[in-house]
A = this chain, B = another copy of it.
Amino acid sequence: MQETRLDTARIRAARRVIDPAFLGTPLYRCEALEPHLGCAVSIKLETANPVRSFKGRGSEVVASRLAEDGPQAMVCASAGNLGQALAWSGRGRGLDVTVVASRFATRAKLDRIRALEARLELVDGDHELARERAAAIARHDGIRLVEDSLDIETCEGAATIGLELLDTVPSFDAVLIALGGGALATGVGHVMKALAPDVEVICVQPLGAPALTRSWHQRRVVTTEATDTIADGVAGRYPIHAVLDDLLAVADDAVLVREASIVAGMRMLLDHAGLVVEPSAALGVAAIREDRDRFAGRHVATIVCGSNVDMDAYRHWVGAPLDTS
Protein backbone atom coordinates (compact mmCIF):
# COMPACT_ATOMS: atom_id res chain seq x y z
CA MET A 1 0.00 0.00 0.00
CA GLN A 2 0.96 3.64 -0.40
CA GLU A 3 2.43 5.29 2.67
CA THR A 4 0.22 7.41 4.88
CA ARG A 5 0.90 9.34 8.06
CA LEU A 6 -0.63 6.42 9.93
CA ASP A 7 1.08 3.33 11.23
CA THR A 8 -0.65 0.10 12.18
CA ALA A 9 1.53 -0.52 15.24
CA ARG A 10 0.73 2.95 16.55
CA ILE A 11 -2.97 2.31 15.98
CA ARG A 12 -2.71 -0.86 18.04
CA ALA A 13 -0.94 1.15 20.75
CA ALA A 14 -3.68 3.78 20.61
CA ARG A 15 -6.25 1.12 21.38
CA ARG A 16 -4.54 0.47 24.70
CA VAL A 17 -5.00 4.04 25.98
CA ILE A 18 -8.68 4.43 25.04
CA ASP A 19 -11.31 4.02 27.76
CA PRO A 20 -13.08 0.67 27.24
CA ALA A 21 -16.42 2.49 27.05
CA PHE A 22 -15.47 3.48 23.49
CA LEU A 23 -14.02 0.15 22.35
CA GLY A 24 -15.42 -3.15 21.17
CA THR A 25 -18.54 -1.51 19.82
CA PRO A 26 -21.36 -3.60 18.34
CA LEU A 27 -20.83 -5.03 14.86
CA TYR A 28 -23.74 -7.02 13.49
CA ARG A 29 -25.71 -7.96 10.41
CA CYS A 30 -28.94 -6.03 10.19
CA GLU A 31 -31.11 -8.29 8.05
CA ALA A 32 -34.22 -6.18 8.52
CA LEU A 33 -32.56 -3.41 6.49
CA GLU A 34 -31.46 -5.66 3.69
CA PRO A 35 -34.69 -6.03 1.65
CA HIS A 36 -34.76 -2.24 1.49
CA LEU A 37 -31.17 -1.90 0.32
CA GLY A 38 -30.63 -4.98 -1.83
CA CYS A 39 -27.40 -6.07 -0.21
CA ALA A 40 -26.11 -7.59 3.02
CA VAL A 41 -25.55 -4.83 5.59
CA SER A 42 -23.46 -4.90 8.73
CA ILE A 43 -23.61 -2.06 11.18
CA LYS A 44 -20.67 -0.86 13.24
CA LEU A 45 -22.40 1.12 15.96
CA GLU A 46 -20.46 4.03 17.48
CA THR A 47 -23.32 5.68 19.35
CA ALA A 48 -23.69 3.62 22.54
CA ASN A 49 -21.07 5.36 24.66
CA PRO A 50 -20.82 8.39 26.96
CA VAL A 51 -20.60 10.92 24.10
CA ARG A 52 -22.73 9.17 21.47
CA SER A 53 -20.15 9.32 18.70
CA PHE A 54 -16.89 7.71 17.60
CA LYS A 55 -14.92 10.82 18.56
CA GLY A 56 -14.18 9.48 22.03
CA ARG A 57 -11.65 7.13 20.50
CA GLY A 58 -9.54 10.01 19.18
CA SER A 59 -10.06 12.30 22.17
CA GLU A 60 -8.85 9.57 24.46
CA VAL A 61 -5.61 9.27 22.52
CA VAL A 62 -5.12 13.05 22.46
CA ALA A 63 -5.88 13.50 26.15
CA SER A 64 -3.93 10.53 27.42
CA ARG A 65 -0.78 11.68 25.59
CA LEU A 66 -1.21 15.28 26.69
CA ALA A 67 -1.79 14.24 30.30
CA GLU A 68 1.57 12.47 30.39
CA ASP A 69 3.08 15.91 31.05
CA GLY A 70 0.68 16.78 33.86
CA PRO A 71 -2.27 19.19 33.89
CA GLN A 72 -2.51 21.05 30.60
CA ALA A 73 -4.95 23.06 28.58
CA MET A 74 -6.21 22.43 25.07
CA VAL A 75 -8.56 24.05 22.62
CA CYS A 76 -10.36 22.70 19.58
CA ALA A 77 -12.87 23.76 17.02
CA SER A 78 -15.78 21.40 16.76
CA ALA A 79 -19.16 20.95 15.15
CA GLY A 80 -19.99 19.40 18.50
CA ASN A 81 -18.90 15.79 18.64
CA LEU A 82 -15.15 16.27 18.99
CA GLY A 83 -15.85 18.98 21.56
CA GLN A 84 -17.96 16.64 23.67
CA ALA A 85 -15.40 13.90 23.39
CA LEU A 86 -12.45 16.12 24.32
CA ALA A 87 -14.46 17.55 27.21
CA TRP A 88 -15.16 14.02 28.46
CA SER A 89 -11.58 12.82 28.05
CA GLY A 90 -10.13 16.01 29.51
CA ARG A 91 -12.42 16.05 32.54
CA GLY A 92 -11.29 12.60 33.56
CA ARG A 93 -7.64 13.61 33.41
CA GLY A 94 -7.72 17.08 34.94
CA LEU A 95 -7.14 18.78 31.60
CA ASP A 96 -8.61 22.18 30.85
CA VAL A 97 -10.70 22.09 27.65
CA THR A 98 -11.95 24.96 25.51
CA VAL A 99 -14.25 24.26 22.58
CA VAL A 100 -14.98 26.75 19.83
CA ALA A 101 -18.11 26.12 17.83
CA SER A 102 -20.45 27.84 15.44
CA ARG A 103 -23.45 29.41 17.09
CA PHE A 104 -25.46 27.53 14.49
CA ALA A 105 -24.23 24.16 15.75
CA THR A 106 -26.63 21.47 16.93
CA ARG A 107 -27.99 22.65 20.29
CA ALA A 108 -27.86 19.23 21.90
CA LYS A 109 -24.14 19.01 21.16
CA LEU A 110 -23.44 22.43 22.66
CA ASP A 111 -25.50 21.59 25.75
CA ARG A 112 -23.51 18.40 26.30
CA ILE A 113 -20.18 20.24 25.92
CA ARG A 114 -21.26 22.66 28.65
CA ALA A 115 -22.55 19.82 30.84
CA LEU A 116 -19.16 18.13 30.56
CA GLU A 117 -17.59 21.24 32.10
CA ALA A 118 -15.67 22.49 29.09
CA ARG A 119 -15.40 26.19 28.28
CA LEU A 120 -17.52 26.83 25.18
CA GLU A 121 -17.00 29.81 22.89
CA LEU A 122 -19.41 30.40 20.02
CA VAL A 123 -18.48 32.20 16.81
CA ASP A 124 -20.89 33.99 14.50
CA GLY A 125 -20.02 31.92 11.44
CA ASP A 126 -19.45 28.39 10.29
CA HIS A 127 -17.03 25.66 11.32
CA GLU A 128 -14.14 27.20 9.37
CA LEU A 129 -14.43 30.41 11.39
CA ALA A 130 -14.44 28.30 14.55
CA ARG A 131 -11.20 26.69 13.37
CA GLU A 132 -9.59 30.12 12.90
CA ARG A 133 -10.72 31.24 16.33
CA ALA A 134 -9.46 28.08 18.03
CA ALA A 135 -6.06 28.56 16.41
CA ALA A 136 -5.98 32.16 17.62
CA ILE A 137 -6.79 31.10 21.19
CA ALA A 138 -4.07 28.47 21.11
CA ARG A 139 -1.49 31.00 19.89
CA HIS A 140 -2.58 33.64 22.39
CA ASP A 141 -2.74 31.34 25.40
CA GLY A 142 0.15 29.13 24.40
CA ILE A 143 -1.96 25.99 24.77
CA ARG A 144 -2.40 22.85 22.69
CA LEU A 145 -4.52 23.25 19.59
CA VAL A 146 -6.28 19.99 18.77
CA GLU A 147 -6.97 19.89 15.05
CA ASP A 148 -9.37 17.17 14.03
CA SER A 149 -8.02 14.96 11.23
CA LEU A 150 -4.71 16.86 11.07
CA ASP A 151 -3.57 15.73 14.52
CA ILE A 152 -2.53 12.16 14.06
CA GLU A 153 -4.03 11.07 17.38
CA THR A 154 -7.52 11.82 16.06
CA CYS A 155 -6.84 9.59 13.05
CA GLU A 156 -5.27 6.84 15.14
CA GLY A 157 -8.23 6.82 17.50
CA ALA A 158 -10.70 6.54 14.64
CA ALA A 159 -8.53 3.88 13.04
CA THR A 160 -9.13 1.55 15.98
CA ILE A 161 -12.62 1.05 14.48
CA GLY A 162 -10.83 -0.51 11.52
CA LEU A 163 -9.07 -3.02 13.74
CA GLU A 164 -12.42 -4.02 15.24
CA LEU A 165 -14.05 -4.34 11.82
CA LEU A 166 -11.48 -6.96 10.93
CA ASP A 167 -12.19 -9.06 14.02
CA THR A 168 -15.42 -10.17 12.41
CA VAL A 169 -16.18 -13.38 10.54
CA PRO A 170 -17.40 -13.43 7.83
CA SER A 171 -15.88 -10.27 6.56
CA PHE A 172 -17.42 -7.83 4.10
CA ASP A 173 -16.74 -6.54 0.61
CA ALA A 174 -16.92 -2.80 1.16
CA VAL A 175 -16.96 -0.32 4.01
CA LEU A 176 -18.88 2.95 3.81
CA ILE A 177 -17.35 5.79 5.79
CA ALA A 178 -18.73 9.26 6.47
CA LEU A 179 -16.29 11.83 5.15
CA GLY A 180 -15.87 15.06 7.08
CA GLY A 181 -12.43 16.29 8.06
CA GLY A 182 -11.08 12.90 7.10
CA ALA A 183 -9.87 11.31 10.35
CA LEU A 184 -12.43 8.50 10.22
CA ALA A 185 -11.87 7.76 6.54
CA THR A 186 -8.08 7.91 6.59
CA GLY A 187 -7.89 6.00 9.86
CA VAL A 188 -10.23 3.16 8.95
CA GLY A 189 -9.02 3.26 5.36
CA HIS A 190 -5.41 2.82 6.43
CA VAL A 191 -6.24 -0.28 8.44
CA MET A 192 -8.23 -1.76 5.57
CA LYS A 193 -5.49 -1.19 3.02
CA ALA A 194 -2.84 -2.50 5.41
CA LEU A 195 -4.67 -5.59 6.66
CA ALA A 196 -7.58 -6.31 4.30
CA PRO A 197 -6.73 -4.70 0.96
CA ASP A 198 -9.58 -6.43 -0.86
CA VAL A 199 -12.20 -4.48 1.09
CA GLU A 200 -13.38 -1.51 -0.94
CA VAL A 201 -13.07 1.75 1.03
CA ILE A 202 -15.81 4.16 0.00
CA CYS A 203 -16.12 7.63 1.50
CA VAL A 204 -19.48 9.38 1.53
CA GLN A 205 -20.10 13.10 1.81
CA PRO A 206 -23.20 15.25 1.28
CA LEU A 207 -23.59 17.03 -2.05
CA GLY A 208 -24.03 20.14 0.07
CA ALA A 209 -20.54 19.85 1.62
CA PRO A 210 -18.40 18.32 -1.13
CA ALA A 211 -14.98 19.93 -0.60
CA LEU A 212 -12.93 16.89 0.40
CA THR A 213 -14.67 14.60 -2.08
CA ARG A 214 -13.98 17.02 -4.92
CA SER A 215 -10.41 17.32 -3.67
CA TRP A 216 -10.00 13.55 -3.76
CA HIS A 217 -11.30 13.35 -7.33
CA GLN A 218 -9.12 16.24 -8.52
CA ARG A 219 -6.11 15.10 -6.46
CA ARG A 220 -5.62 18.65 -5.10
CA VAL A 221 -7.24 20.68 -2.36
CA VAL A 222 -10.51 22.20 -3.53
CA THR A 223 -12.35 24.59 -1.21
CA THR A 224 -15.95 25.74 -1.36
CA GLU A 225 -17.64 29.03 -0.57
CA ALA A 226 -20.37 27.60 1.64
CA THR A 227 -22.00 24.39 2.82
CA ASP A 228 -25.64 23.46 2.68
CA THR A 229 -26.46 20.22 4.47
CA ILE A 230 -28.18 18.89 7.58
CA ALA A 231 -25.12 16.68 8.15
CA ASP A 232 -23.47 19.17 10.48
CA GLY A 233 -20.74 16.75 11.53
CA VAL A 234 -19.15 16.66 8.08
CA ALA A 235 -19.74 20.21 6.85
CA GLY A 236 -16.21 21.56 6.25
CA ARG A 237 -15.03 23.79 3.43
CA TYR A 238 -11.22 23.81 3.74
CA PRO A 239 -9.70 20.35 3.37
CA ILE A 240 -6.27 19.79 4.90
CA HIS A 241 -3.42 18.94 2.48
CA ALA A 242 -1.87 16.20 4.61
CA VAL A 243 -5.25 14.55 5.16
CA LEU A 244 -6.04 14.63 1.45
CA ASP A 245 -2.71 12.93 0.74
CA ASP A 246 -3.62 10.14 3.16
CA LEU A 247 -7.09 9.86 1.69
CA LEU A 248 -5.66 9.53 -1.81
CA ALA A 249 -3.59 6.62 -0.54
CA VAL A 250 -6.40 4.65 1.12
CA ALA A 251 -9.79 5.49 -0.43
CA ASP A 252 -11.09 3.55 -3.41
CA ASP A 253 -13.86 6.02 -4.04
CA ALA A 254 -15.56 9.11 -2.67
CA VAL A 255 -19.19 9.75 -3.47
CA LEU A 256 -21.69 12.52 -2.84
CA VAL A 257 -25.29 11.98 -1.74
CA ARG A 258 -28.40 14.12 -1.75
CA GLU A 259 -30.06 15.53 1.36
CA ALA A 260 -33.22 13.55 0.65
CA SER A 261 -31.19 10.35 0.72
CA ILE A 262 -29.65 11.28 4.06
CA VAL A 263 -33.12 11.82 5.51
CA ALA A 264 -34.34 8.56 3.98
CA GLY A 265 -31.30 6.81 5.45
CA MET A 266 -32.04 8.18 8.92
CA ARG A 267 -35.61 7.00 8.63
CA MET A 268 -34.61 3.55 7.40
CA LEU A 269 -32.22 3.15 10.32
CA LEU A 270 -35.00 4.13 12.71
CA ASP A 271 -37.78 2.07 11.17
CA HIS A 272 -35.85 -1.10 10.35
CA ALA A 273 -32.91 -1.07 12.75
CA GLY A 274 -34.38 0.82 15.72
CA LEU A 275 -31.46 3.24 15.64
CA VAL A 276 -31.53 6.98 16.22
CA VAL A 277 -28.67 8.47 14.20
CA GLU A 278 -27.47 11.91 13.30
CA PRO A 279 -27.39 12.83 9.60
CA SER A 280 -23.67 12.09 9.16
CA ALA A 281 -24.26 8.56 10.43
CA ALA A 282 -26.82 7.90 7.69
CA LEU A 283 -24.44 8.75 4.83
CA GLY A 284 -23.54 5.10 4.23
CA VAL A 285 -27.13 3.95 3.93
CA ALA A 286 -27.81 6.98 1.75
CA ALA A 287 -24.99 5.94 -0.59
CA ILE A 288 -26.37 2.40 -0.95
CA ARG A 289 -29.80 3.79 -1.61
CA GLU A 290 -28.51 6.05 -4.37
CA ASP A 291 -26.55 3.34 -6.16
CA ARG A 292 -28.21 0.00 -5.47
CA ASP A 293 -26.72 -1.68 -8.54
CA ARG A 294 -23.21 -1.04 -7.28
CA PHE A 295 -23.88 -2.87 -4.02
CA ALA A 296 -26.38 -5.51 -5.15
CA GLY A 297 -25.57 -8.89 -3.66
CA ARG A 298 -22.48 -7.63 -1.83
CA HIS A 299 -21.84 -7.43 1.92
CA VAL A 300 -21.39 -3.84 3.01
CA ALA A 301 -20.35 -2.51 6.41
CA THR A 302 -21.41 0.98 7.40
CA ILE A 303 -20.08 2.88 10.38
CA VAL A 304 -22.92 4.50 12.29
CA CYS A 305 -20.72 7.24 13.67
CA GLY A 306 -22.96 9.41 15.88
CA SER A 307 -26.43 9.97 17.31
CA ASN A 308 -26.32 13.51 18.64
CA VAL A 309 -29.40 15.21 17.26
CA ASP A 310 -31.73 17.97 18.32
CA MET A 311 -34.85 15.94 18.93
CA ASP A 312 -37.14 18.54 17.37
CA ALA A 313 -35.18 18.46 14.14
CA TYR A 314 -34.92 14.69 14.30
CA ARG A 315 -38.64 14.20 14.77
CA HIS A 316 -39.19 16.49 11.79
CA TRP A 317 -36.75 14.53 9.63
CA VAL A 318 -38.00 11.06 10.41
CA GLY A 319 -41.63 12.13 10.40
CA ALA A 320 -41.32 13.31 6.79
CA PRO A 321 -42.37 11.01 3.96
CA LEU A 322 -39.76 8.39 3.20
CA ASP A 323 -39.45 9.05 -0.51
CA THR A 324 -38.66 12.72 -0.85
CA SER A 325 -35.95 12.33 -3.48
Contacts and interface: CB of A to CB of B under 8 A. Distances in A.
Interface residues of A, number: 29
Contact of A29 (B30, B31, B50, B311): B50
B47 A274 contact: yes
8 contacts: A21-B29, A25-B26, A26-B48, A28-B48, A31-B115, A32-B115, A48-B48, A274-B309
Contacts of A52: 274
How many subunits of this chain does the assembly comprise? 2
Chain A to chain B: the 8 pairs with minimum beta-carbon distance, closest first: A26-B48, A274-B307, A274-B276, A21-B28, A45-B48, A28-B49, A28-B50, A24-B24
A112 interface: yes
A25 B21 CA distance: 10
Contact of A271 (B28, B115, B275, B311): B311
A99 B307 CA distance: 35
Contacts of A311: 270-271
A174 to B, nearest CB: 20
Nearest to A315: B319
Nearest to A27: B21
Interface string A1-45: 000000000000000000001001111111110000000000101
A42 to B, nearest CB: 10
A271 B32 CA distance: 24
Contact of A26 (B26, B31, B116, B274): B26
A43 B32 CA distance: 25
A31 B309 CA distance: 16
A308 interface: yes
Nearest to A271: B311
B31 A50 contact: yes
A161 to B, nearest CB: 14
Contacts of A48: 26, 28, 43, 45, 48, 275
A68 B56 CA distance: 42
Contacts of A270: 276, 311
A113 to B, nearest CB: 12
Contacts of A43: 48
A313 to B, nearest CB: 13
Nearest to A309: B274
